[in-house]
Structure 1
Amino acid sequence: MSSSPATPFNAKNDSADAQMYILENGRGMRAAISSYGGTLTSLLVPDRAGRPGEVVLGFDGIAGYQSPEFLKSNPYFGALIGRYGNRIASGRFSLAGKTYCLAANNGPNHLHGGLRGFDKVVWQAESGASAAGPMLTLSYISVDGEEGYPGNLNVKVIYTLTTNALRIAYTATTDQPTPLNLTNHAYFNLNHGHSADILGHELLLAADRYTVVDASQIPTGELRPVAGTPFDFTTPHTIGERLGAVPGGYDHNWVLNHAEAQTVAATVYEPLSGRLMEVLTDQPGLQFYTGNYLDGTLTGKGGVVYGRHAGFCLETQHFPDSPNQPTFPNTILRPGETYQTTTEYRFGVRE
């Protein structure tokens, strides 16, 4: 197991050098992570024949993440998301009697931290090793008022490559109450470069309910049972099997069945490569998104054109718009508290 020294990531951002870090576990897995956005740019995982292959969408250099085409569609490939992953209705929330106004960067709503969220900053990075495997520690201070959020927020994210998984551990503290919902926005295709879409991937979700949303993808507050609907993945279904029955495609939050325990929330199997991925989390929700807005204007690693449904996301999270939804689990971090959550993407094969 090893972590390689940082190398330049082909450009600079805000006068800070963006660097690339490589983690390898000696078993065919290799993760490439940039300090720009804390972005997972590459993840190699062996197939059933033992051949390592790419499983995430992304680019070889920082130019791809800063191109006009990427910034226009803003798919957030592999980036760390904050302060608040997903949407906040009308770009505002109230806390302790004060209303805070955020950028409306997704129609009328606030999305993924705003115009310059955690995906567009250069994180302080330090590579190292642990008993579990090579690791990369990323740190960022989000100052009071950044993107409209209150409080100085100290964030630390640790990527660790274990014998069979990529683990992402998040911690944060604040000096004022603030909403917080951190996640990673990796797009997976377990047969990247060989399958143009993810419609044949088989998905299992440990969730009996999902959050119903309105036309602008803001939760109505209803947690609806998935039984008898195209949202029911409590038994395995291919992603494409009922996709046409969901207007616009899947881009919804599932309410996980576990209660704050680190358990398997999702399992994905790709039959051609034999790759199997499990998502473990202690978060209450999981956003399943099927790359509905990819339109072929982006060309990624290996010259692969990313068309509609080229990748899927399984973003571990709290529910969308929780600061405005009092019946949803709490997302307010207060002084003296420590935000802690861990997500693990565990890989194997099925013969």
Structure 2
Amino acid sequence: MRNTTTILCWIILIVSFLTLGSCKKHDKEIHKLDVKKENWGRTKDGQEIYLYTLSNIHGMQIKIINYGAIVQSLFVPDKSGKYEDVVLGYDRLDDYLKDSPYFGAIVGRYGNRIARGRFTLDGVQYQLATNNGPNHLHGGIKGFDKVVWNAEPIHEKDKVRLKLTYLSPDGEEGYPGNLKVAVIYSLTNHNELEIEYFAQTDKATPVNLTHHGYFNLTGHCKRDILEHQLWINADYFTPVDSTLIPTGELRPVEGTPFDFRQPTAIGARINDPDEQLKYGRGYDHNWVLNQADGTLKLQAALYDPQSGRYMQIYTDQPGLQFYSGNFLDGSIVGKGGVVYKHRYGLCLETQHFPDSPNHPEFPSTILRPGEQYHTKTIYKFSIK
């Protein structure tokens, strides 16, 4: 009897061990470094659009479509471990095709504004579309946010990547040169979204690529972004005229509502009686980043005290455009039927300065044949 009991105990132990091992294996299968692809519809001219889901071992996910190279969703944990979507966007392709304020897209050839849509390069004047009042914005009528990109998933040891490529032909939207563009989104096991930009041209042309994600760290717009605390490593910003074109001045942030050198609630000074805030209907300005020497540095951070979500921004770019969602007005119904109300999302776009082709005193955005455009930005997520 004693031998039988001993045998039964050993059997129970072995089965328990095997079951535990099976559970651990299953858990790894649920959260593993992976890229999945699914059909997401067609454009009006019949081009197929795909949704790519990048996952890491912690359960963080990024969903990207090859229309506009758009980050459609970004799931990150809060302080209780709950994963929620922290970017604005749509559930259906048709909504992106119909109308979108650049939700999650790659914008170019020139992100931000060019005054009156004009610039002179090597003695030749070029006229671009004026699609933002009197000015050119984010590449024109059909910028990179409205084209279909070729997509290629890439697996590496500690990250998964999606490489998107596009050939912008000479004369597209008025820009000179055939421009070969590549954007690589990477999701790492350190909960980082890395974005790398590459470009080559056969004629001199201005290039200023950026990611136009609308963030709300509350978890898909539970509240507006006014309680988010923002830090920007910048002693100066570029003030604008009434059409949001830089005047050319680099103005100190000290003593102004534009001083985010210490983490500050976005809503703390957004309604101050300041002319620049009046022009932008809030914040819609470029900050001149400190120690911007072309190497990757921590230059900004965003924190939501209630969820505990913390986002750090590393970049090698000289500027950062902070837009506080001033034109969101409740007319857009986004993912899950959520109404995107006033200031329910914000943008932090790493970039060169707006209207640089018309400001020789600004860092140059001109790419010439034989040169390689390459820049990198990292959005790193954690709990604080």
Matches for 1:157-176 after TM superposition, within 5 Å: 157-163=183-189, 164-176=191-203
Aligned residue in 2 for 1:177 = 204
Q: Relative to structure 2, which stretch is displaced further, 298-307 or 108-117?
A: 298-307
| 2:259 aligned to which of 232, 241, 245 | 232
Pairing 1:276–2:315 present = no
For residue 13 of structure 1, report the CA deviation from its aligned partner. 4.5
**What letter corresponds to residue 342 of structure 1 in structure 2?**
K
For residue 194 of structure 1, report the CA deviation from its aligned partner. 5.3
1:331–1:44 CA distance, 2 compared to 1 (3 A): same
Structure with the bigger percentage of strand: 1
Aligned residue in 2 for 1:264 = 298
Number of matched pairs: 345
Aligned residue in 2 for 1:189 = 216
Moved over 4 A (4+): none
Q: Does the aligned pair in 1 maintain the 2:41–2:48 contact within 8 Å?
A: no
SS in 2 for 1:243: coil
**What letter corresponds to residue 35 of structure 1 in structure 2?**
N
Q: Does the aligned pair in 1 maintain the 2:35–2:160 contact within 8 Å?
A: no
SS in 2 for 1:172: strand
Determine the C-alpha separation between the residues in 2 that align with 1:191 and 1:60.
19
1:188–1:194 CA distance, 2 compared to 1 (3 A): closer
Alignment RMSD (CA, Å): 1.0
Matches for 1:235-314 after TM superposition, within 5 Å: 235-245=262-272, 246-247=277-278, 248-258=281-291, 259-314=293-348
Q: Relative to structure 2, which stretch is displaced further, 39-48 or 296-305?
A: 296-305
**What letter corresponds to residue 348 of structure 2 in structure 1?**
L
SS in 1 for 2:250: strand
Determine the C-alpha separation between the residues in 1 that align with 2:342 and 2:238.
24
Report the structure number with the largest CA radius of gyration: 2
Matches for 1:1-351 after TM superposition, within 5 Å: 1-67=32-98, 71=99, 74-163=100-189, 164-193=191-220, 195-245=222-272, 246-247=277-278, 248-258=281-291, 259-350=293-384
- What per-residue deviation string (whole Å, max 9, x for no partner) do you get for residues 120-148 of structure 1? 00000011212341110000000000000
SS in 1 for 2:322: strand
Aligned residue in 1 for 2:14 = none
SS in 1 for 2:36: coil
**What letter corresponds to residue 296 of structure 1 in structure 2?**
G
Determine the C-alpha separation between the residues in 1 that align with 2:157 and 2:363.
33
For residue 49 of structure 1, report the CA deviation from its aligned partner. 1.0
Determine the C-alpha separation between the residues in 2 that align with 1:194 and 1:310.
6
TM-score in terms of structure 1 length: 0.96
1:143–1:194 CA distance, 2 compared to 1 (3 A): closer
Structure 2 residue ranges without an equivalent (≥5): 1-31
SS in 2 for 1:219: coil
SS in 1 for 2:271: helix
Q: Does the aligned pair in 2 maintain the 1:210–1:255 contact within 8 Å?
A: yes
- What per-residue deviation string (whole Å, max 9, x for no partner) do you get for residues 204-229 of structure 1? 00000000100000000000000000
Structure with the bigger percentage of helix: 2
Determine the C-alpha separation between the residues in 2 that align with 1:251 and 1:172.
27
- What per-residue deviation string (whole Å, max 9, x for no partner) do you get for residues 95-124 of structure 1? 111000000000000000000000000000
For residue 192 of structure 1, report the CA deviation from its aligned partner. 2.8
SS in 1 for 2:248: strand
SS in 1 for 2:145: helix
Q: Relative to structure 2, which stretch is displaced further, 9-18 or 286-295?
A: 9-18
For residue 9 of structure 1, report the CA deviation from its aligned partner. 1.4
1:193–1:155 CA distance, 2 compared to 1 (3 A): closer
Q: Does the aligned pair in 2 maintain the 1:286–1:314 contact within 8 Å?
A: yes
Q: Does the aligned pair in 2 maintain the 1:138–1:156 contact within 8 Å?
A: yes
Q: Does the aligned pair in 1 maintain the 2:221–2:345 contact within 8 Å?
A: no
Q: Does the aligned pair in 1 maintain the 2:133–2:243 contact within 8 Å?
A: yes
Q: Does the aligned pair in 2 maintain the 1:3–1:135 contact within 8 Å?
A: no
For residue 66 of structure 1, report the CA deviation from its aligned partner. 1.9
Determine the C-alpha separation between the residues in 1 that align with 2:221 and 2:370.
49
